Amino acid sequence: MKKVYISHKKGERPEIKLTVKRVESSAWSIFSSHHYLSTKINKSCKCLLFEWEGVPVAFAAILNTPRKGVPYGCSLSRLVVLPDFQGLGLSTRIFNFCGGIVKSLSDEERDYRMYIKVGYKKFGEALDRNPNVRSTQFDGKGRRRQDFDTNKYANRMERVSYCKEYIGESISGYEDLLKPIKELREYKKISL
């Protein structure tokens, strides 16, 4: 893997320009061991790979999660920044980007919304400071052991979670990243 050398003064953040591309769910294998809860991923996620100067830095997986009253709901199912690039504010930037492109799918008939549920305290606190999010009714709550089926919620037993909704602006020009992967595969075949 190509190395990126960061030269900046202590206490300053370097200028980081990320590129993003849609990838197959198999790209998760680079990041899976760095996720704080699970190495598994839902195969129907829309997977995005973020690179800095050609080096993989982060991975985000967006999952359609319709719910009562929100038929066009999505969730950021997985967000991992590799350890060498943590502490640079990338998680918040990537969350805002993903929320913006999901929101850009909205029109007069469909209201797309993006949610995230996080158990990792540092990122949860960063989301609390993010002006582009608001708390949901489940924010800051955990589950009591007697209130859940252990098979269904095994990864969040008694864990207090940060539950947020993206409320920032939409970002246009990236809608192709969220097309069904089958369409992207067909396009790739034609363009070759």
Per residue in 16-64, pLDDT (tens digit) is: 889 999 988 888 888 876 776 666 778 888 999 999 989 999 999 999 9
**Do the domain assignments include residue 142?**
yes
Of the CA atoms within 13 Å of residue 153, those in its CB half-sphere come to 15
Q: For position 142, which CATH number holds? A: 3.40.630.30
Q: Are 77 and 42 in contact (CB under 8 A)?
A: yes
**Do the domain assignments include residue 5?**
no
pLDDT value, residue 169: 95
List, for residues 152-189, the tens digit of each pLDDT value.
Answer: 555 554 667 888 899 999 999 998 888 887 777 776 65
> What is the pLDDT confidence band of residue 4, given thresholds at 50, 70 and 90?
low
**Do the domain assignments include residue 75?**
yes
CA 161 remoteness from chain centre: 16
**Do the domain assignments include residue 13?**
no
The residue segments making up the domain with residue 129 are: 18-185
Q: What angle do CA 115, 98, 80 make, to 5 degrees?
A: 85
Q: How many domains does the chain have?
A: 1
Q: What angle do CA 140, 35, 139 make, to 5 degrees?
A: 10
**Do the domain assignments include residue 181?**
yes
**Do the domain assignments include residue 111?**
yes
pLDDT value, residue 74: 93
**Do the domain assignments include residue 7?**
no
